Amino acid sequence: MSKYRIEESRPDWYKGLGPLYQIHDETGPIRHLRWDYEPTAIAVLDDLENGRALLADINYKLNGTSHKSEAPAHFAENEDVIYFFEEDKLPTSDRGLTTTEEKRAALLKNGYSEIVIHWESVPPFE
């Protein structure tokens, strides 16, 4: 049985712009996995089901300066992903943390803010 599924919705806040496609697991909707284009949702669902990495489009601010990058990563909370890529830049006392809450606190303490990650399927090599 599949661990993930796609549910289509038409929330009022989307102002009738069409359906949204959200990936759900056994606990409900996964908050960062929602798109307005069904093929993207299907591709990401397939990657999740098969344990493949996704493409993380990473945006955040560090001490007020915007940063943007892309990297393949397995889906996780935004703070876990940023921490993975930025841990070596943090003070020694803020390295080696294990919980999302600890990582979130360390990132905030060190000037990271407005962390947003958009997830997509990794494009095939041509």
The predicted-structure confidence for 13-49, as pLDDT tens digits, reads as follows 888 788 999 999 999 999 899 999 999 999 999 999 9
Q: How many domains does the chain have?
A: 2
Within a domain: residue 126?
no
Q: Are residues 93 and 33 in the same domain?
A: no
pLDDT at 67 over 70: yes
Q: Are residues 66 and 113 in the same domain?
A: yes
What are the two backbone dihedrals, phi and then psi, of residue 19, each rounded to the nearest 5 degrees? -80, 160
Q: Are residues 106 and 94 in the same domain?
A: yes
Last residue of some domain: 52, 68, 89?
Answer: 52
Overall average pLDDT of the 46-63 stretch: 96
pLDDT at 3 over 80: yes
Q: Are residues 5 and 48 in the same domain?
A: yes
CB atoms within 10 A of CB 17: 9
Q: Are residues 12 and 62 in the same domain?
A: no
Domain span at residue 11? 1-52
What are the two backbone dihedrals, phi and then psi, of residue 42, each rounded to the nearest 5 degrees? -65, -45
Last residue of some domain: 33, 52, 71?
Answer: 52
Q: Are residues 47 and 59 in the same domain?
A: no
Overall average pLDDT of the 70-94 stretch: 96
Residue from 87, 88, 117 nearest 102 by CA: 87
Q: Are residues 24 and 63 in the same domain?
A: no
Q: Are residues 63 and 7 in the same domain?
A: no
What pTM does this model have?
A: 0.84
Q: Are residues 41 and 3 in the same domain?
A: yes
Q: Are residues 58 and 102 in the same domain?
A: yes
pLDDT at 58 over 60: yes
Read off the pLDDT band of 125 (50, 70, 90): low
For a pLDDT cut of 90, what percent of the chain falls above it?
Answer: 87
- Give residue 105's pLDDT: 98
pLDDT at 5 over 60: yes
**Region of residue 114 (left: phi > 0; alpha: psi -120 to 50; beta: else):** left
